[in-house]
Amino acid sequence: MNVVVVSGRLSSSPVVRELQSGSVLVTYEVTTKVDDASISVPLVWFDPPKHVAVDAGDEVAAVGYARRRFFRAGGATQSRTEVVVAHLGLLTDKKSRTARQRWLTAAMGADGVGELRSS
């Protein structure tokens, strides 16, 4: 099973692009801590719900799956590993640990093995 949970702060404002297919793609960069080091994690969300409003500096948690995509740039094949978002939620600074746990329980189900939903 390929399930990724990321929580951290948005390091920049989301970038919204409309694809040729008519779908909307929103990209995010989340900065999180791993072993006392800050790392940036790229997130992509296809056709997100309209009610999700987040901006640079907001603390968020995302559930999705990891994928590696390949593309041609400058005559060479390159790759990028990113998290494809199924669910993204804004966390508040107050009681963020409790909010994070409540949010993850709702996103994954009470037993931690629930279905990923995009709303």
CATH for the 4-108 domain, from 3.30.460.10, 2.40.50.140, 3.30.70.360, 3.30.830.10: 2.40.50.140
Helices (H), the chain: 96-108
Of 67, 58, 77, whose CA–CA distance to 11 is shortest? 58
- pLDDT given for residue 113 in this prediction: 45
Cα angle, residue 7 at apex, residues 43 and 112 outer, rounded to 5°: 100
In tens, the pLDDT along 64-84 reads: 999 998 989 889 999 989 999
Tens-digit pLDDT string for the chain (119 aa): 788 889 899 999 999 999 999 999 999 999 998 888 999 999 999 999 887 788 999 999 888 999 998 989 889 999 989 999 998 888 865 555 566 666 666 666 555 444 444 43
Q: Are strands 76-91 and 37-46 parallel, antiparallel or unpaired?
A: parallel
- pLDDT given for residue 117 in this prediction: 44
